[in-house]
Structure 1
Amino acid sequence: MVMLIKMAPLPLIFLFAVHMVFGADRAVNYNPLHICALKDSSVIMSCTYTYPTGHQIRKVFWNKNLVKHGEELADLSEDPEYSQRLQYLGDKQQNCTVRLSHVTKKDEHKYYFRFITNVTEGRWTSKPGVRLSVTDLQLESPERVTEGVSVRLTCKSSCKLTDTPTFIWYRNSQTWTEGTIGNKLILNPVRREDLGRYRCAVDGHTLTSPEVFLYVTYPPKSVSVSISGSAVIMEGDSVTLSCSSDSNPPAEFYWYKGIQYVECGKIYKISKISPDDSGEYKCRARNEHGEKYSDPVTLDVQYPPKSVSVSISGSAVIMEGDSMSLMCISDSNPPALNFSWFKENQSSAVGSGQSFSAVQSGRFYCEAHNPHGAQRSDAVTVTVKDPPQSVSVSISRSVVIVEGDSVTLSCSSDSNPPAEFYWCKGIDYVKYGRTFSISKISSGDSGEYKCRARNAHGEKYSKPVTLDVQYPPRSVSVSISGSDVMESLMCISDSNPPALNFSWFKENQSSAVGSGQSFSAVQSGRFYCEAHNPHGAQRSDAVTVTGEAFIITLL
């Protein structure tokens, strides 16, 4: 007689059953005869038994491998290796179920149920026994895969588990459910994010498989460039470009300026950057699976103005009334926006803005400014052609010109090209040249002088200047006018300035007998006068005064 006993599945427990037939009146039923259990789990060997009528059960126990203890088969419950782990769940009637906890590979044996009745011959052992296999979990997985292919991970045991297990999957210690089918985890297609540590377990059990590292290789992506330093890059700064990418295996890096290869390596450093280093840079990340370029980054190297110059529109020679357009040119970054214009030898600016209109002759330069500094250009010459203007005469003497002095007249004018000069006294032409010199001037040289300045564009006269040549009295004489009573004498002289002081003398007398330009003689005698001005004095010849006959004899 065969009996099947069904038991509800218990968490963390594997059920064992052993089946054996002794005869019509006694039997032990096991189901199944082979059990595969996970290491460290608990297993239940479920069985039932029958015995002959009239017998009474004296003892029931389990034995392994039919091992004897003396003359009797050994009772596992008395074995130190089993006493704490083996629990008999049956009775002495029909149920012979037993539980074995924390099974290990050492527990792989055949197990038998034995019962003893009160009858001398009533000892029965169930054969062929139950075979117990204990297994751990192993994870079968490729070590290295390429992104995009289909990958299968399999959770394996050395024997087929008796219960229908529910498998649990972990990735990097986190539970993973996507793509799980029974004891398989399918990644289709595998992604770079799937790289990591995997292990499997059976629901309800603490045992897990050893971790397996899934190494997913893939071409570079997320290639980017970072720049060290501030946002504004100045000439002379040290600048470092760093390239990064997500790739497996790690990528090699190559640097390009525009389309020109410049260097390899993760870092590209420019120790003293110059304006020539400005431009677009990008890096190329490459491994055995492919390559990818980063987005370009722009290095904008800034610097103060340099190579500042003045550009002249057309000829640098213009006519009076016209203007000359000057343009300030500079090399700077950012471009210069502020410009100042100067005339050489003048401290104050004469204009602003990039362009400047020059309306007069001179040497002009510009100064260009940006936020990083300033620089001035060389000066350029602007020539304005015009007829003579501001014609004037200067005299190389004091205000007073005395006969015999050396006098130089100089003529000047503002003109372009320079003027030629001509001298006139009154309306008469007297000399050519910028200067007119009179080495020993005489009274005959007195008069109005002016110069005429002339160039190809016109002519102009200066205002007249007067040469007033002064000299001491000369040609001094006495004129006589008379009456019946007395003679009136008048002192006549040629002098510049006119003589204002006069003295009268009677011949052979040292003291003056009168003063003033006129003198009244009331007695006979010989009289003369002396005329004075600031430059000297001169006496006249003597005249004879005869009172009686009114006869004047001029000696």
Structure 2
Amino acid sequence: MVCPAVLLQSFVWMSLMATGVQYDVTHIISSMCVVRQSTVYIPCKYDHPQHEQGIAVQWFHQKSPEEVRVSQDTAFKGRVEFQADAGNCSLLLRDVRKRDAGYFRVVLSTASGRNWTNAQGIRLEVTDPPKSVSVSVSASEIVEADSVTLSCNSDAKPLAEISWIKGEMTVGSGGVYIISDLSSDDSGEYKCRSRNKYGEKDSDAVKMNVMYAPRDVVVTLNSSGVIVEGDSVTLSCSSDSNRPALNFSWFKEDQTSAVGSGQSFSISSFSSSSSGRFYCEAQNKYGSQRSASVSLSVKAEESVWSSVIVGISAAAVMTVILMLVVWLLIRRKRATPSEEQNPRGSRRHKTVESPADTYMTLDTKSRCAEYDTLDNMKRSCDTDGPEDQDSTYNMDN
């Protein structure tokens, strides 16, 4: 990676101008920047009078308070390359290090013993892309409803901009990130990203695990059917907590002390005296919570007997109704044929004509002069002689 300043200001032009016995060197830059661990190339050219031969080039590094010859300093060994062509005094420096910062100047020497240099030198500034980026957390144990501070540590020159990332989402900025009133939703992996104009670097992710007390405590029954007296009944307690609940206690609503402990509670032989409302309480070091109560009883067995009794009663009622219907049908069947086979019985219900009407139907010849009833009339008529009958006849004639 090359520092922009190197690209823009990396050319040194040196011109030897004779002014008596002294030669001057001019240059067009006074400073340059380079990114640490990169390679910097400082091109350098010079002109010299024709009579000056055997020009030697030497580079010096000055870091207050001392100045060393680059070619002889072990700190530069294997990292520098000098250009020895005629008119070329360039310097190539690889794997730039922080301690390379300072002033570099070139010295040209002739065989006649004359030397000239850019006395002001070129200031080399070593910059850093973000490096050694890390995150520190203010607390070793993070608990729900507390607050936590995350700090980003980055060695960057110039100073870097810091952003905070949770998972793949940016959640904050700045060297310090504070989360107040923590909840379980804040758990996850966090990292900071350090960026300046020379590059960027992410820290290693730190995992934040928010601890909280038990919640959503629920009791479940091992049987979903009828509880019959004498059955074995087991209740189980579950909860959501971080860290997992360590203690489980079981309570019956009409009792002041716990009736059991552990994540499950069993009643080996259930009876009516075991009936009641039960609940559990889950606890860890951050708090506790109780479940809703669950009602247990043997009333489900009584419900079966009630169903049997109701069924028997319904069958008895249906039987009575059926017998009544059959009896009515039989009675009706018996009554109808007797009326058809006995016509006299039907005539008994006819209206009897009055005696006067009866006599009106008799023949006038059979009437007797004296009668009380039909019987008397019959006897009276029987005593009449033939003469009377004849005379009556003659009179009629």
TM, length-normalised to structure 2: 0.54
| Structure 2 match to 1:320 | 229
After superposition, the Cα gap between the structure-2 partners of 1:210 and 1:261, relative to the gap in structure 1 and judged at 3 Å, is same
Is contact 1:316-1:381 (8 Å) kept? no
Is contact 1:343-1:364 (8 Å) kept? yes
| Structure 2 match to 1:227 | 137
- Describe how 1:68-467 pairs up with structure 2 within 5 A: 131-133=20-22, 143-146=32-35, 148-152=38-42, 167-171=59-63, 173=65, 175=68, 177=73, 178=76, 179=80, 181=82, 185-188=91-94, 190-191=95-96, 193=98, 196-200=101-105, 209-210=119-120, 212-217=122-127, 219-228=129-138, 230-315=139-224, 317-358=226-267, 359=270, 360-385=274-299, 417=302
**Structure 2 counterpart SS, 1:318:** coil
What letter corresponds to residue 103 of structure 2 in structure 1?
Answer: Y
Is contact 2:39-2:92 (8 Å) kept? no
Is contact 1:139-1:199 (8 Å) kept? no
What letter corresponds to residue 169 of structure 2 in structure 1?
Answer: Q
What letter corresponds to residue 93 of structure 2 in structure 1?
Answer: L
> Separation in 1 of the partners of 2:99 and 2:41?
10
Is contact 1:342-1:365 (8 Å) kept? yes
Q: Can you list the C-alpha shifts for 1:24-80, whole angstroms capped at 9, x where unaligned?
A: xxxxxxxxxxxx9xxxxxxxxxxxxxxxxxxxxxxxxxxxxxxxxxxxxxxxxxxxx
Is contact 1:171-1:199 (8 Å) kept? no
Give structure 2 stretches of 5+ with no counterpart: 1-15, 110-114, 310-397
> Separation in 1 of the partners of 2:177 and 2:256?
48
Alpha-carbon shift at residue 282 of structure 1 (Å): 1.8
Alpha-carbon shift at residue 376 of structure 1 (Å): 1.8
Is contact 1:286-1:292 (8 Å) kept? yes
The structure whose residues are more often strand, as a share, is: 1
> Separation in 2 of the partners of 1:157 and 1:227?
61
- Describe how 1:493-532 pairs up with structure 2 within 5 A: none
**Structure 2 counterpart SS, 1:143:** strand
After superposition, the Cα gap between the structure-2 partners of 1:251 and 1:347, relative to the gap in structure 1 and judged at 3 Å, is same
The structure whose residues are more often helix, as a share, is: 2
What letter corresponds to residue 310 of structure 1 in structure 2?
Answer: V
> Separation in 1 of the partners of 2:234 and 2:253?
17
**Structure 1 counterpart SS, 2:245:** coil
After superposition, the Cα gap between the structure-2 partners of 1:216 and 1:352, relative to the gap in structure 1 and judged at 3 Å, is same
Alpha-carbon shift at residue 169 of structure 1 (Å): 2.1
After superposition, the Cα gap between the structure-2 partners of 1:186 and 1:323, relative to the gap in structure 1 and judged at 3 Å, is same
After superposition, the Cα gap between the structure-2 partners of 1:149 and 1:134, relative to the gap in structure 1 and judged at 3 Å, is closer
> Separation in 1 of the partners of 2:187 and 2:154?
24
Is contact 1:220-1:287 (8 Å) kept? yes
TM, length-normalised to structure 1: 0.40
What letter corresponds to residue 61 of structure 2 in structure 1?
Answer: W
What letter corresponds to residue 200 of structure 2 in structure 1?
Answer: E
After superposition, the Cα gap between the structure-2 partners of 1:220 and 1:210, relative to the gap in structure 1 and judged at 3 Å, is same
What letter corresponds to residue 290 of structure 2 in structure 1?
Answer: R
Is contact 1:172-1:198 (8 Å) kept? no
Q: Can you list the C-alpha shifts for 1:297-321, whole angstroms capped at 9, x where unaligned?
A: 1111112222322233443741122
> Separation in 2 of the partners of 1:194 and 1:139?
25
What letter corresponds to residue 229 of structure 2 in structure 1?
Answer: E
Q: CA RMSD in A?
A: 4.3
> Separation in 2 of the partners of 1:344 and 1:140?
90
> Separation in 2 of the partners of 1:353 and 1:457?
40
> Separation in 2 of the partners of 1:334 and 1:152?
61
After superposition, the Cα gap between the structure-2 partners of 1:199 and 1:290, relative to the gap in structure 1 and judged at 3 Å, is closer
Alpha-carbon shift at residue 186 of structure 1 (Å): 2.5
Q: Which is higher, the Rg of structure 1 or of structure 2?
A: 1
After superposition, the Cα gap between the structure-2 partners of 1:197 and 1:166, relative to the gap in structure 1 and judged at 3 Å, is closer
**Structure 2 counterpart SS, 1:349:** coil
After superposition, the Cα gap between the structure-2 partners of 1:274 and 1:162, relative to the gap in structure 1 and judged at 3 Å, is same
What letter corresponds to residue 372 of structure 1 in structure 2?
Answer: Y
After superposition, the Cα gap between the structure-2 partners of 1:213 and 1:350, relative to the gap in structure 1 and judged at 3 Å, is farther
Give structure 1 stretches of 5+ with no counterpart: 1-35, 37-107, 110-130, 387-415, 420-453, 459-555
After superposition, the Cα gap between the structure-2 partners of 1:345 and 1:192, relative to the gap in structure 1 and judged at 3 Å, is farther
What letter corresponds to residue 40 of structure 2 in structure 1?
Answer: S
What letter corresponds to residue 152 of structure 1 in structure 2?
Answer: I
Is contact 2:250-2:260 (8 Å) kept? yes
Q: Can you list the C-alpha shifts for 1:449-482, whole angstroms capped at 9, x where unaligned?
A: xxxxx97899xxxxxxxxxxxxxxxxxxxxxxxx
Is contact 1:258-1:281 (8 Å) kept? yes
**Structure 2 counterpart SS, 1:276:** helix
Is contact 1:218-1:248 (8 Å) kept? yes
